[in-house]
Structure 1
């Protein structure tokens, strides 16, 4: 588990050397979508979005194949949130309590087709659902 987190962090940091500006997307409870400033990594397998109080990333890992979504909380009050991803359908992990300075992650050990796009999600209780740009392989 610790190695998996370390590899995901390393992948995100490695991608951080070539950050590109891209749109963050937030959908409210009614389903309407709005854009917000963000940062997306240059790697196709790792995509990140900067948010006002943290950073949300999705990583499509190999050996073994797995999808990992992680959120690093850099500011603000403690939140309760579910991390997930969307491709042909939407999947969420369990609700997590995340405080300032903490990193939360959810991992799905599974084979994933490379012809699809995968979007990382964080669904914060009482707030909008935020998304990463789409990752591909």
Structure 2
């Protein structure tokens, strides 16, 4: 997997990119050529861009993104706390798809990917933590 960093080439009169609300974005490109943006952090409203949402949790960040080739991914970036057993998924109109269960420790990211997910259909990303609860991202759809 290749990682490349994308930043804006210009800033406003001496201000840093962070000061004007532009955060650098790293993109991970897999062997199939698909690209997944990896944000520096989740914005307060949970909407990164069209069909790309996130939720900040106490021990990390949950992301959900849909791609124009009708694929979707949900991933959890764990930044603190003890190890968990969890799975990621997505929900569309009451129908849920899950990854397998995994163990995850701080400093790692776990991802699930699915095909045949209509790009403009509204979906939410899910994280189910065994013995705790299920967390979700805001709705990802074409209008927002």
The verdict on a shared fold, with TM-score over 0.5 as the criterion, is yes
Matched residue, 1:13: 39
Unpaired runs of 5+ in structure 2? 3-28
Matched residue, 1:65: 70
**What is the DSSP-based 3-state SS (H/G/I as helix, E as strand, rest coil) of the residue aligned with 2:35?**
helix
State the structure with more CA Rg: 2
Structure 2 CA distance, aligned partners of 1:44 and 1:129?
23
Residue 109 of structure 1 deviates from its aligned partner by 1.8
TM-score between the two structures when normalised by the length of structure 1: 0.73
Q: Per chain length, whose mean CA-contact separation is higher, i.e. which structure has more relative contact order (CA < 8 Å, sep 6+)? A: 1
- Tell me which protein shows more helix as a share of its residues: 1
Residue 107 of structure 1 deviates from its aligned partner by 0.1
Unpaired runs of 5+ in structure 1? 23-39
Q: How many residues align?
A: 113
Structure 2 CA distance, aligned partners of 1:123 and 1:105?
13
- CA, structure 1 residues 56+117, in 2 after alignment: closer, same or farther (shift >3 Å)? same
* Residue 98 of structure 1, aligned match among 104, 117, 139: 104
TM-score between the two structures when normalised by the length of structure 2: 0.70
Residue 61 of structure 1 deviates from its aligned partner by 1.2
Structure 2 CA distance, aligned partners of 1:80 and 1:51?
16
Residue 99 of structure 1 deviates from its aligned partner by 0.7
Residues 66 and 119 in structure 2, CA contact (< 8 A), matched pair in contact too: no
* Residue 54 of structure 2, aligned match among 45, 48, 54: 48
